Structure 1
């Protein structure tokens, strides 16, 4: 099933200009298209639309030790609550932590790289408020965190 994620502002990458009335079309774990909301809605009638407040953009990369918590699962959840969708492998030396990351589908990268919303790319998205609070995290096309 296709899902259209949209917010008042969309940022294709972390340094680019945010644009209004744009959306990301997700099919499975991949980005199908990124563009104006009206065009994507017209091209895909009946698509499920998720409207989020804030700014929609690529998920964040965490390049450091994972936050402390009582269990590996909670350490990973702390990342998801902040919009993180990828981690650098060198910070996952603990096998239990690595297993928790693998179960969450976080992307594990050999080195830090900048993320962007590109057709054909993995559907790793996050929506943040102006104050930086993460409202939604989408990892490989699945909503894994949603602030109530």
Structure 2
């Protein structure tokens, strides 16, 4: 089923100077991005799509660049990363077979050593649907509202 993820604002990258798209959205089919831009345009292009509206800013999912959060099991450690808006981890922190297996089961990318740590935006063109939505407070701190990993909604704040 095609899903449109929409938010108050869409960003194509988190550290870019590019102007955000107000009332922006990303269309996702299976595990791929099939369109992005203003919500109104995507609704016209995909009239039968389900629309999920999120409060905050929608953009590419993050690369978790440090140690994985502590948790009782490898699965819970990977889920803790997804709750932060990340869908990729560095290999040196997924350092056991159990962590790598948990990452693989959840479609979390394990970035090999020596790879550039900056991950490109997932939806510049047609790419894997790795998205995150953050709600920002007045201090500039952000809380992850939702994470989409390979097209699947894997975290949403209740």
Fold shared by both chains (TM-score > 0.5): yes
1:140 alignment partner, one of 138, 150, 155: 150
Distance 2:155 2:55 in 1: 15
Q: How many residues align?
A: 148
1:80-119 superposed matches below 5 A: 80-110=82-112, 111=115, 112-116=117-121, 117-119=123-125
C-alpha RMSD of matched pairs (Å): 1.2
Give unmatched runs, 5+ long, in structure 1.
none
1:122 to 2:128 alignment: yes
Equivalent residues of 1:33, 1:118 under 8 A apart:
no
1:89 shift after superposition: 1.6
Task: Could you tell me which runs of 5 or more consecutive residues in structure 2 were left unpaired when the two chains were aligned.
Answer: none
Deviation at 1:78, TM superposition (A): 0.9
Q: Distance in 1 between matches of 2:125 and 2:151?
A: 13
Shift of 1:88: 1.4
Q: TM-score, normalised by structure 2?
A: 0.89
Shift of 1:115: 2.8
Kept in 2, the 8 Å contact 1:30–1:119? The answer is: no
